[in-house]
Amino acid sequence: MKFGGTSVGDVAAFERVFHIVSSQIERRPVVVVSAMTKVTDALLNAFEMAKKGEFAEAFASLESHFERHVSVAEHFIPEGSSNLFDAELQFAREELSDLLMRTSRRSLPLSMLKDAIVSYGEQLSSRLLAEVLKAKGVNARQMDSRRLVVTDDEFGAAQPLWEETRDLVRLDLQPAIASGEVPVMGGFIAANRAGETTTLGRGGSDYSAALVAAALGASELQIWTDVTGVMTCDPRICGEARTIPVLSYEEAAELAYFGAKVLHPKTIKPAVDHGIPVRVCNTFEPDEIGTMVLAESGESPNKIKSIAHKKNITILRITSARMLGSYGFMSAVFQVFERYRTVIDVISTSEVSIALTLDNTAEIEKIVADLSRLGDVESEPGYAVICVVGDGLRASTGLASKIFSTIDDVNIALVSHGASSVNLTFVVREGVAPEVIKKLHRVFF
Ligand code: ADP
Ligand code: ASP
Ligand code: MG
């Protein structure tokens, strides 16, 4: 059972989590929890301040977040009873002070310090949740994810090493579960082989939960969040969004990748590989069924399931007469992106040009400089990718025409269709994206 940040935001939220966990105790759950809402952002912010040398301000900016933890602890844990959370918080304060100081002095590699700092969100939330559950009579035990999930050295977006992780999770968790304990671990955080703290990328708690579920051969992975399942589009954009009862893994993966952040993109993989059903449920409406993600959705094809979108997209266009009839050109282009470790989302090519989209523009100047050796390069920020997802989209006749005629007053900058049988993706100016999504939603749902 994975609980997201909004599911552990305050006293009322912890109370809800207690009820949900205790109602399924006989299913022998493992709990994976995110940092309390806004805490990861606050830690990243503190890191950025410390980097600029503002050490004292950085540390002070965390105080209100420590206080939020303290008020939950004070509410649930009786005064005078043994309480591992207080000691943990004291330790976290000292460590964070030290880490922020090191950041301002740059006395260790910054990427390493950043992960060490940001990991305190999940370290604190998992300790707090374990103590709250214990105070309410659940036989909970906090487990340090950094001793369970082993990753490579890519700080900030580390890749788990599956076999090592699986073996450690089994070794530590199985005996605990067998003896009736409920393990509570932080999502998102892990460690490399040297024992240095790493993180799995924003939204990575879903991924941690999927890894643990896969390692233990769980009967189900439950993702508890603040909406009732995966919906026909982001409910924040369109109030008419509805819950999708069943999704295939492939559909869920496309949706997650293209911005439906309710599921982390990589969540799908360990679950698919091990045939574990994933259920997305609402902490605020625990009796609603939510969305089941299964190997096959088993529904009729030719149906659109959902519309995902991702903002802050930059389009790059590379034009070169050298591309005409030559081979190796695409490979040369891709090598540039590989060199700067930048992911391409959508791509479309003609005889003499390539258009592609990026959401990470950290290295864009260097990328453009290198690509300029291959041809003329234009870069244009301010776009949004819109991705229409449904099993059997490729095979259905007339669907693309229906989609584009619905939005015939909008300029489409780029289209990609056919690579995956479950999505049709196009790019529009960011400003018109909400309107486009609402229009499509009205017509298709
Ligand atoms: P958590 O903290 O539980 O991990 P997230 O904020 O990562 O929660 O994901 C839940 C949010 O995802 C929702 O509040 C919603 O605004 C957003 N979202 C985007 N697209 C969708 C979609 N298609 N269905 C449901 N939620 C979506
Ligand atoms: N706390 C991390 C984040 O905000 C991981 C997660 O919530 O899944 O990105
Ligand atoms: Mg999330």
Domains assigned to the chain = 2-219 (3.40.1160.10), 306-444 (3.30.2130.10)
Q: Nearest Cα to 392, choosing from 365, 418, 422?
A: 422
Pairing of strands 291-294, 246-248: parallel
Q: In testing the pocket of ligand 2, which one of 205, 261, 262, 283 has its CB within 8 Å of the most ligand atoms? A: 205
Tokens describing residue 19: 């009820």
For ligand 1, whether the C-beta of 203 sits within 6 Å is yes
Ligand nearest to the CA of 201: 2
- What is the reported pLDDT for 302? 59
Regarding the beta carbon of 278 and ligand 1, being less than 6 Å apart is answered no
pLDDT for position 81: 80
Mutate to test the pocket of ligand 1, among 16, 251, 261 (most ligand atoms within 8 A of CB): 261
Distance 116 CA to ligand 3 centre (A): 20
Residue 37, classed as helix, strand or coil, is coil
Kindly state the average pLDDT of the residues 359-363. Answer: 90
- Calculate what percentage of the chain has a pLDDT beyond 90: 79
pTM of the model: 0.90
Each as own residue / partner, the long-range contacts of residues 401-409 (CB below 8 Å, 24 or more positions apart, any chain) are 402/443, 403/440, 406/439, 406/440, 406/443, 407/436, 407/439, 407/440
pLDDT at 404 over 80: yes
Question: How many angstroms is it from 379 CA to the middle of ligand 2?
Answer: 30
Average pLDDT of the residues of the chain: 93
Confidence band for 258, pLDDT divided at 50, 70 and 90: confident
Return the residue whose CA atom lies nearest to atom 5 of ligand 2: 203
Ligand 1 in reach of 230 Cβ (< 6 A): yes
Is it the case that residue 296 has pLDDT exceeding 80? no
Cα separation, 437 vs 445, in Å, equals 11
Question: From the CB of 306, is ligand 1 less than 6 Å away?
Answer: yes
Residue 347 is predicted with a pLDDT of: 93
Are the CB atoms for 348 and 356 separated by under 8 Å?
Answer: yes
For the ranges 131-135, 144-148, 197-201, 417-421, the lowest mean pLDDT is seen at: 417-421
Does the pLDDT at position 300 exceed 70?
Answer: no
